[in-house]
Amino acid sequence: MLSVSDLTCVRGDHTLFSGVSFDLSPGQWLHLEGSNGSGKTSLLRIVTGFTPPDHGHVRWKGRTLADAPEAFHTDLLYLGHALAVKDELSALENLQADAAIAGRTFHEAHARTALQSLGLRGRTRLPVRVLSQGQKRRVALARLTLHSAPLWVLDEPFVALDAQAQDWVADAISAHVDRGGMALFTSHQALALQGRGASYRLNA
Amino acid sequence: MSFKNFRWFHWAAPQTFYPVAGRLWRPFAVLAVVLAAVALYMGFFVAPTDFQQGEGYRIIFVHVPASWMSMVIYLAMAFWAFLGFTFNTRLSGMMTQALAPTGALFTFLSLWTGALWGKPMWGAWWVWDARLTSELILFFLYMGYIALTSAIEDPRRADKAGGLLALVGAVNVPIIYFSVKWWNTLHQGASVSVTKGSSMAQTMLWAMLLMALAFWAYTIAIALYRVRSIILERERHTGWAQEVTT
Amino acid sequence: MNAFVALVQRDVRLALRRKSEVLTALFFFVVVATLFPLGIGPEPAVLRKIAPGILWVGALLASLLSLGRLFSADFQDGSLEQMALSTTPLPVLVAAKVLAHWLLSGLPLALLAPVLALQFGLEPGAMAVLVLSLLVGTPLLSLIGAVGAALTLGVRGGEVLLSLLVLPLYIPTLIFGSGAVEAQMSGVAYAAHVSLLGAMLVLAAFFGPWMCSAALRVALE
């Protein structure tokens, strides 16, 4: 359903990558690998539609992103490097505002359950400012269980997390893929993910 | 070759446009010099002495065409910006950037010639006349565009941001002009109408028109010349650009 | 609509939890309005004459102060990216942010203006028109300024550049805004000035958010 063909990205004087092509079908995950500076984040930003590619296309359900942006946005859940979490709001307030702004439904009970499963019980009403960096990341990750969207694009979802939280993310991705979803993510670490998946290496 | 089949996008590629601009700018430059010479001769030697203003009025042969050009160039910039957004061509952004310094120059020239004309006529270097004030604001708009496009490092982003600014500015220019005119009449400010109070003899009109055409030819020449170096700088990592520069 | 309201609520809530930013702009307005009499002299007739212009310029500069922050926090923490990926069109979300900005800067300025007008010896009639012109004009300042804020997002030296870009575009608003008050003070009808401000506001309300979201997408590239 996600089809990436012949993508090229040029930054200033040099070409980050060219000729990148892959497909992602329901029930699959794709691990994007590459050394630092190889353009993994740039590729993800092209897939999400922020950056137009210098060459090539990204198609979702057969249509390019330019043709059908709203349909794509409904089906996409993106977690980038930046957490999109506001320090002055509590975890619950953050998730509520985030859902409303994204046009998705929000149930406080679900949110509390999600935050608890991420080990944030008792911290859901404190301003996020007082949480540790790892805890803030977990607030952002709660979106994964709150919203149902077929395509997940995750930029370094495992970084700055302890082993328990990393397992949580891996399980979430596996479960999502089992249900027929798709996940495209980057990571430095070696993974033990269940389900049908593949790796794609971006050469520097 | 029908209109539809003419390979517009072929000519919009920087690589194709570069040699075309190279061949065109010199003839336009020559045309500019010739027209300017004729216009200046007409303005300073042929046109009659003005009934009310004596000899000093002759500066309008530079002032008025410069004002015209400052507005026309801004519209041209907005036009290229519009093309750039509609067709997503790189050359459009480059043309907008190539035009900006010349537009700013004409605005600056208009302001100074306005002051030079005002001093002997009205005894003041600056009057808050509607047109002069609008020219000053237009100068700020040009400076804003140049400042924005210089501050953004990525050239494509600079083009797009500058293009949006040019479009917003173009929509605002008539509003600004109208509001300044209103403000001026309300406060009964000086009306430095350069063309009122002197019956425009035929020769005067012709001289101004020729000067305007000279400025136009100059603008085209310098924009084409400038866009060539912009093209070379942007495309410096491509094969054809490296061949040209070695 | 739900997204619009939620975003306005969020921004207002965030600002109220960081009160200092809101209050700084208001204090700036007060300080600027106080500087002019100190620089010009306390003659009542002179002050009354220059009051509309000075109060309007003060409101304009105070508005400009808070514009730099309109999008920068969301840009840096990734919230802007999420907004760009929302199913709600980005212009709608931009309009929500601009409304929140106005509620936190323009509206308080308009409500504070009468107090400052007292310092300049304005009559109640003039004060009323001043408040009216500010109520119609400050949303216009927020809308125009938002486009500038979006264009300079993440650019080096952005705040100063923002002022350079936006101040020329503010001039019509300034002319008609202070012109309305001056008209009232001269006993002339001010309705035309206010109507023109209103017309510009409608125009800006339609095109501003749209231009702004185009500029935001350029900044996100």
User: For B127-149, what is each residue's pLDDT tens digit?
Assistant: 788 888 899 999 999 999 999 99
SS3 C10: helix
Mind listing the pLDDT tens digit for each residue in A99-135?
A: 999 988 888 898 999 998 888 888 888 889 899 988 9
Strand partners, A79: A154
Nearest 5°: phi and psi at A110?
A: -60, -45
Residue A16's pLDDT is 84
**What pTM value is reported for the model?**
0.90
Residue C161's pLDDT is 94
Mean pLDDT (chain A, rounded)? 88
Instruction: Write the DSSP symbol of residue C171.
Output: H
What are the residue boundaries of the structural domains of chain C, listed by start? 2-220
Whether the per-residue pLDDT at A87 is higher than 80: the answer is yes
Residue A58's pLDDT is 92
Whether the per-residue pLDDT at A167 is higher than 70: the answer is yes
Which tops the pLDDT comparison, B220 or A34? Answer: B220
Which tops the pLDDT comparison, A190 or B166? Answer: B166
Residue B21's pLDDT is 86
Residue B109's pLDDT is 94
Percent over 90 (pLDDT), chain A = 39
Place of tokens 């009449």: B185
Among candidate residues B140, B135, B87, the one with its CA nearest the CA of residue B111:
B135
Whether the per-residue pLDDT at A190 is higher than 80: the answer is no
Q: 3-state secondary structure string, C203-216? A: HHHHHHHHHHHHHH
Residue A191's pLDDT is 73
Most confident residue range from A32-41, B53-62, C192-201:
C192-201
Alpha helices by DSSP H, listed for C152-187, are 158-185
Q: How confident is the model at residue B2 (pLDDT cuts 50, 70, 90)?
A: low
Q: Mind telling me how many Å the CA of C27 is from chain A's nearest CA?
A: 23
Q: Which stretches in chain C have pLDDT values below 70?
A: 1
Report chain B residues whose CB lies below 8 A from the CB of A12: 154
Chain B contact residues (CB < 8 Å to C): 137, 140-141, 143-144, 147-148, 151-152, 154, 156-157, 160-161, 164-165, 167-169, 171-172, 175-176, 178-180, 182-183, 186
SS3 B50: strand
Residue B1's pLDDT is 47
Q: Within an 8 Å CB–CB cutoff, is residue A84 touching chain C?
A: yes
Q: 3-state secondary structure string, chain A? A: CEEEEEEEEEECCEEEEEEEEEEECCCEEEEEECCCCCCHHHHHHHHCCCCCCCEEEEEECCEECCCCHHHHHHHEEEECCCCCCCCCCEHHHHHHHHHHHHCCCCCHHHHHHHHHHCCCCCCCCCEHHHCCHHHHHHHHHCHHHHCCCCEEEECCCCCCCCHHHHHHHHHHHHHHHHCCCEEEEECCCCCCCCCCEEEEECCC
Residue B138's pLDDT is 95
Which tops the pLDDT comparison, B49 or C154? Answer: C154
Hey, what domains does chain A have and what are their CATH numbers? 2-201 (3.40.50.300)
Whether the per-residue pLDDT at B193 is higher than 70: the answer is no
Q: What is the mean pLDDT of residues A71-82?
A: 92
Mind listing the pLDDT tens digit for each residue in C47-66?
A: 999 999 999 999 999 999 88
Please tell me the distance from the alpha carbon of residue B25 to that of residue B44, in angstroms, as a whole number: 28
Whether the per-residue pLDDT at A68 is higher than 60: the answer is yes
Report chain A residues whose CB lies below 8 A from the CB of B154: 12
Whether the per-residue pLDDT at B197 is higher than 70: the answer is no
Among C79, C88, C92, C221, which would you mutate to test the A interface (most chain A Cβ atoms within 10 Å of its Cβ)? C79
Whether the per-residue pLDDT at B191 is higher than 60: the answer is no
Q: Within an 8 Å CB–CB cutoff, is residue C76 touching chain A?
A: yes
